[in-house]
Structure 1
Amino acid sequence: MRAAPPLRLQVCADRRVQGLVTGLALLACAVLLLAIGQHLPQIWPAVLLLPVVAVMAWRLSVALPRRLRWDGQAWWLATPPAFQGEQQVSLDVVIDLDRWMLLRARSSQPRSTLYLPLAQDHHLETWGALRATLFAAGGGARR
């Protein structure tokens, strides 16, 4: 069996994912306010804080750019600012929607799990090679 060729890609922030996370946070806060408001009517002015929650959720849901690299044997993940320190990770495909994937990257360090949203729109040149490498490479991604 032939090894998958080396691959390198930049994982960048996806505004759609950021919007989805923001919307879910806003919905959770609104439902919580509704539930509490059923028992404590004086809490209803707190609804005015929902825009603040939306702004905070938007800012906190920004994904930092990262570099993901397959060297033919293992996956490596580098983080900003200079992408100097790479660490070996194992990748799991958590969600696969054909044009969008959510990957879980785990290193040997405890509590070091990262979720990487990838969209075909951002990786047009490497999307086919990425999918083939993820699903065919020995020791690569698991489902």
Structure 2
Amino acid sequence: MKKSFSLMEVIIATALLSTALLALIQSGNNSLNFIEKSEKTKKEKEYLQIALDTKPFSNRNENIYLDKEFSNLDDDLRLELKKIKIKVKEELLSKEDIKLDNFSFTLNKTKTEYLVDEKVKKNIYRIKISF
């Protein structure tokens, strides 16, 4: 009599293998989605860093369009940056006049909020001392 696998053993082995392969495929898909999201977030943070470097700090509540900030861009880069809009909102948190015996100074605390495409947000807090 020849030894062979029964039909039930083959079905169970196939079910186990398909479950393991499905788990591996799902894990790989999740990793790809995670990498894609992290790349997109990284790119948006880079856009935000470009916006922070474009203008000196001043009292501004305006939008920054990156394609208008640079004059010598190639067409592909200009098209990519044209889609990017960065909202800037500056708010004066407090203004204090401090007087000491010998001198006085003003202490301004401001908060500037940068928002890239409603996704990535960065708050910059600054203190300015004026004599």
TM above 0.5: no
Normalized per residue, which structure has more helix?
2
Higher relative contact order (CA 8 A, sep 6+): 1
Range class of TM-score, shorter chain: 0.3 to 0.5
Which protein is bigger by CA-based radius of gyration?
Answer: 2
Normalized per residue, which structure has more strand?
2
- TM-score normalised over the length of structure 2: 0.32
